[in-house]
Amino acid sequence: MKFKDLSIYLQKLENTQSRNDMILILSELFEKVPTEDIGKVMYLLQGRVAPLYVNLEFGMADKMILKAISKAYEIDEKDVNSEFKKIGDLGELAEKLAEKYKKSDGSPSISQVFGELESLAKSGGKGSVDVKIDTMSCLLKSLDSLSSRYVVRIPVAKLRLGFSDMTVLDSLSWMLANDKSLRTEIERAYNIRPDLGHIATVIKREGIKGLSKVLPAVFTPILMAKAERLSSGDEIVEKIGECAIEPKFDGFRLQAHLKRLKTENGKLETRVKLFTRNLEEVTFMYPDVEKGIISQIDAKEAILEGEAIAFNPATDEYLPFQLTSQRKRKYDIEETAKKIPLKYMVFELLYLEGKNMIPEPYTKRRENLSKIIKKGATVYLSEETVMSDGKKVESYFDDAIARGLEGILAKKLDGTYQAGARGWSWIKLKRSYSSKLDDTIDCVVMGYYVGMGKRTSFGLGAFLIGVYDNKNDKYLTIAKIGTGLTDVEWKELFKRSEKIKTKEKPALYDVDKMLEPDVWVKPEIVVEIRADELTRSSNHTVGRILKPSKSGTAFDVDVQGYALRFPRLEKFRDDKVPTDATTLTEIEEMFKLQKK
């Protein structure tokens, strides 16, 4: 398949704001793409040449792309830069200049373009900047003008197609069944192996039946399970009966993959990879955890899950999340590790010695996990107490809070591990709700409003946040926040937002026109928000139901949505991905509990 055929579909996707239309466009594309190309197409749609969990970045900035455009079309760099300032978009610039100056109209295949981009990403070391520019320049010479628009956007992460992986899964279902009926089955496989290229290739080759063969693999992260929430110990026991109670640590989730291999000279080599919730490989950031796993895990192959949390070696007390989060860094890693040591509290076993542990009951996973952890200074088996008395559950919760922990997690004894899903195998106990909302809410930043007065120096004066409607793969607004941040936090939020701002409203956003921000941002920043209570709102879209107006030209509010009263920023949650945000279902439940 030619890349210019793919670029026509990319243009269609760019020009639609309807998620349903995107599903149809993608399903048509996937139907036409040959099996040998489908994996490459999936990665290109994500603006990559490898799965998200593979550390393969392009290492290119706008300036390098501009140099490549100048070289490809034999135009003076000053003229290219001047034109870029007028247009403001690398893709539109490349397309315009290609139409005007290009001497031939080539048509390389998807595989050829992918290969050149992959080569560009793998270029490193001395002289790699020139190699990258030359590679991109040669590639642009071979492309038609429309293809040029999208190829230059890929290395600088500005493809701007506006859909999520869940939209892709719906599209694969639509390709097979002409509806979304297969989405659940496809998502189950994706949660175990979140590699769209692999999942799509299996489907193209073997159909939906092939997904039954998708199993955990060491060094391929599994999407982490999520917990439901209840507000009392009695409710938990009533829901799942006798259960295992574990402390809930206020750190960051890490999934550890371990494999011991024999090298060519017969020596045993141990490899470890650490992954975050958002599939980022962060092994180099936590050398102490890596060493602990190598020395303390007695297994040849294993996938573990746990929480890394900072502690004070003098008192053995856990430290606040703000200190733990300082360990997430790219520089001064060894020095920071000495100042802020971590404990890796392991609470799950997903794979062991070639066996998939995900469908096994919790008790069996726990039993096997306890057998492979040796005593040491870094890796610990999370404590567990089996209970059937709601009052004792709440007493355990109070003790956990007193110890500086976030709370507790109850696990169903015969429950399986629900990869990537929120289910009743895990339940977190949160403080009960009274006239005030005592619990925090995880929200996604959707956009910001330009500041006035003092805040003009920050770049923004307020920001819009939302929660996740997991049933419809949408983000719904719940608050506009203009207070409660320090000067440093305002500046930090602006800095992060500038990197992911977009001209158009993302297709997954449901926002009332009255609340549209000055600048939209892609759903990437997760923040923890504290508020006094949940109230009803006709403007916010969380839980809002519209009905056609009597005139038939617009909509009236039939059921009001929810909004946060006096919201303020608690902290940035870099350990969470947007789909980890509090859900619409949870908000509805919080509101009911608050009214009791």
- In the set 248, 273, 430, 522, the catalytic residue is 248
- Please report, as a single letter, which amino acid is at residue 60: M
Q: Give the integer Cα–Cα distance in Å for 350 and 423.
A: 17
In angstroms, rounded to a whole number, what is the distance separating the alpha carbons of residues 301 and 219?
Answer: 10
* DSSP assignment letter at 431: P
Helix extents (H) in 178-275: 183-192, 196-206, 233-240
Question: Are the C-beta atoms of residues 148 and 3 closer than 8 Å to each other?
Answer: no
Structure tokens, 86 = 């007028």
Q: Which residues of 583-593 are buried (b: 16+ CB within 10 A; e: fewer)?
A: bbbbbebbbeb
Query: Cβ atoms within 10 A of the Cβ of 409, count?
Result: 21
DSSP 225: P
Q: Please give the full DSSP string across 311-378, using - where no structure is assigned.
A: B-TTT-PBPPHHHHGGG--SSSHHHHHHHS-EEEEEEEEEEETTEE-TTS-HHHHHHHHHHHBPP-SS
With contact defined as beta carbons under 8 Å apart, do 103 and 172 qualify?
Answer: no
Which amino acid type is present at position 38? I
Q: Which residues partner with 517 through β-bridges? A: none
CA distance 413 to 363: 6
Q: Please, is 554 exposed, middle or buried when counting C-beta atoms within 10 Å of its C-beta (0-12, 13-18, 19+)?
A: exposed
Burial of 188 (0-12, 13-18, 19+ CB in 10 A): middle
Greatest Cα pair distance, the chain, in angstroms, is 80
Q: How many CB atoms lie within 10 A of CB 546?
A: 14
Known catalytic residue at 592 = no
User: Which residues are catalytically annotated?
Assistant: 248
